[in-house]
């Protein structure tokens, strides 16, 4: 399989020639500032909600104080929703709008755009600064040997739990080593009430990551084996699909998937409004848990590592992903955009609220600062264990580069939907997904 395959992005076919027209009216920004430096304005596209936006504003203010000739305009396309933001971004990139900087929610989405040629490689700028990215960042998105983004924030998979609900059920906070079968038992015991007053034991969102978390947390690549073939024939596809069905249909301990999709439920709302006692999510939710103005709640939040597939599975494996910032290929201000990227990714001020993608950051200090004003609403011992237990680690890095991974994720999402909504058997759903994945792989290997 060729590793240089490209993805036909949803919403628009992106081309470098289109991006070269970005920056309409940009020439007007180039008047000289103090010391003869030209004044420029960078446009930074993201999905900031109020919580994330406050951090972005603080970092931009600090950056502009250091580089007064460079103004940065934050452009949240769909606040709080990275999936819809990417759809709008693809359209925006093809429209001729000025785009200088882009935030991506995963390495897969970053590589997909790198393969289309709409991102600028950072290697020359790294070299000019004598920076070795592998020494700086935990993950460096590479395509055809070039670096296309710097890691902004790092996120571990974790489980948030309602401490009040745990206490009611007489349950301890789970620690490293608990399994998905244990998770099911917890969900049963944490489910309470009926109708509109019902609190489900657990909530799973509709993203592909939740269709089978075992692939994401215990495999080097959730979609492809190291030989380039599909992961969807893995036995965990059957075991986890059936566990999800049992939890929803038999135990009635998890929010029905039909409600998640049909009512477009928001996972934060379901947890903080006490409609679900457990939420499998990323460590970015620590900052949201601390913001009681945006997400009011009066219960203490506990934290657990992500469950493992079985008692025989390796201890402490978790997906360590993150957010990545890239320079648009059509930006007229690539050097200035790179300056902004380096500034925000290596910033260690109190503005940072989440785990850093920069290896030299003091993550414990960041988290302590994040929860400081709402510390009484955190089970701090469990938070420390969930984030900083030395046994927690990511699987070995994959050697497989698949810019078309978002297509495979869509296959996983569609396969799970047909399984849980249409009553298809796990075996039939798996067979369908394997066939579709093989088709995607074959089509892209020809490019």
Bridge pairing between strands 70-76 and 40-46: parallel
Phi-psi category of residue 264: left, alpha or beta, with phi > 0 → left and psi -120 to 50 → alpha = left
Class at the top of the CATH hierarchy for domain 157-318+393-445: alpha beta
Dist. CA 422–CA 261, nearest whole Å: 14
First to last CA, the chain: 10
**What's the predicted TM-score (pTM) here?**
0.80
Residue among 242, 221, 228, 277 at smallest CA distance from 107:
221
CA-to-CA dists, residue 101 to 11, 76, 325, angstroms = 20, 12, 7
The full DSSP string for 192-243 is B--GGG-BBSBB--SSGGGT-HHHHHHSSSSSB-TTS-BSTTSTHHHHHHHH
For 50, other C-beta atoms within 10 Å of its C-beta total 12
Dist. CA 56–CA 74, nearest whole Å: 8
Q: Residue 28's Cα: distance from chain center in Å?
A: 36
Task: Tell me the two tokens of residue 39.
Answer: 């004044």
| Confidence (pLDDT) at 50 | 86
Answer yes or no: same fold for 16-155+321-376 and 157-318+393-445: yes
In the chain, where are the structural domains located?
A: 16-155+321-376, 157-318+393-445
At 22-58, the pLDDT tens digits run 334 444 445 545 545 789 999 999 999 888 898 899 9
Dist. CA 326–CA 47, nearest whole Å: 14
At 319-335, the pLDDT tens digits run 888 999 999 999 999 99
Task: Tell me the two tokens of residue 283.
Answer: 């460590």
Dist. CA 181–CA 187, nearest whole Å: 10
Residue among 281, 147, 144, 318 at smallest CA distance from 205:
281
| The listed CATH number (3.90.1150.10, 3.40.190.10, 1.20.120.530, 3.30.70.1450) that belongs to domain 16-155+321-376 | 3.40.190.10
The residue ranges of the chain whose pLDDT is under 70 are: 1-36, 447
Task: Calculate ∠ Cα 112-264-157, nearest 5°.
Answer: 55
Bridge pairing between strands 142-143 and 146-147: antiparallel
Measured on CA atoms in the order 327, 328, 334, 340, is the torsion positive or negative? negative
């Amino acid at each position: 399989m060729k590793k240089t395959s490209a993805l036909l992005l949803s919403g628009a076919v992106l081309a470098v020639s289109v991006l070269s027209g970005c920056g309409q009216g940009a020439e007007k920004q180039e008047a000289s500032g103090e010391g003869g430096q030209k004044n420029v304005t960078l446009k930074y596209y993201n999905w900031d909600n109020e919580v994330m936006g406050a951090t972005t504003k603080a970092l931009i203010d600090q950056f502009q104080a250091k580089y007064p000739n460079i103004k940065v305009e934050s452009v949240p396309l769909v606040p709080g929703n990275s999936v819809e933001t990417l759809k709008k971004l693809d359209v925006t990139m093809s429209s001729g709008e000025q785009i200088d900087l882009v935030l991506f929610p995963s390495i897969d989405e970053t590589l997909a755009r790198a393969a289309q040629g709409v991102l600028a490689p950072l290697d020359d700028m790294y070299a000019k600064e004598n920076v070795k990215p592998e020494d700086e960042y935990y993950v460096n998105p590479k395509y055809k040997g070039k670096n296309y983004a710097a890691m902004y924030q790092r996120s571990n998979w974790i489980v948030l739990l309602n401490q009040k609900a745990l206490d009611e059920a007489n349950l301890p906070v789970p620690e490293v080593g608990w399994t998905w079968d244990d998770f099911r038992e917890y969900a049963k015991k944490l489910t309470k009430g009926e109708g509109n007053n019902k609190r489900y034991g657990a909530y799973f969102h509709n993203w592909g990551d939740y269709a089978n978390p075992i692939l994401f947390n215990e495999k080097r690549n959730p979609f492809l084996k190291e030989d380039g073939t599909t992961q969807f024939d893995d036995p965990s596809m059957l075991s986890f699909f059936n566990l999800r069905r049992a939890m929803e249909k038999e135990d009635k301990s998890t929010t029905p998937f039909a409600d998640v999709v049909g009512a477009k439920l928001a996972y934060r709302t379901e947890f903080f409004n006490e409609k679900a006692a457990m939420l499998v999510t990323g460590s970015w939710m620590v900052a949201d848990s601390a913001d009681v103005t945006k997400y009011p709640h009066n219960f203490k939040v506990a934290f657990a590592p992500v469950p493992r597939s079985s008692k025989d599975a390796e201890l402490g494996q978790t997906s360590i992903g993150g957010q990545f910032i890239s320079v648009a290929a059509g930006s007229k201000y690539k050097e200035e955009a790179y300056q902004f990227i380096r500034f925000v990714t290596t910033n260690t001020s109190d503005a940072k609220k989440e785990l850093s993608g920069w290896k030299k950051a003091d993550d414990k200090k960041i988290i302590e600062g994040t929860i400081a004003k709402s510390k009484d609403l955190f089970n701090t011992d469990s938070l420390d264990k969930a984030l900083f237990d030395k046994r927690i680690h990511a699987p070995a890095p994959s050697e497989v580069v698949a810019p078309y991974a978002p297509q495979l994720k869509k296959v996983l999402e569609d396969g799970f939907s047909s399984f849980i909504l249409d009553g298809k058997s796990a075996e039939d759903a798996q067979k369908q997904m394997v066939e579709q994945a093989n088709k995607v792989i074959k089509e892209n290997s020809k490019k």
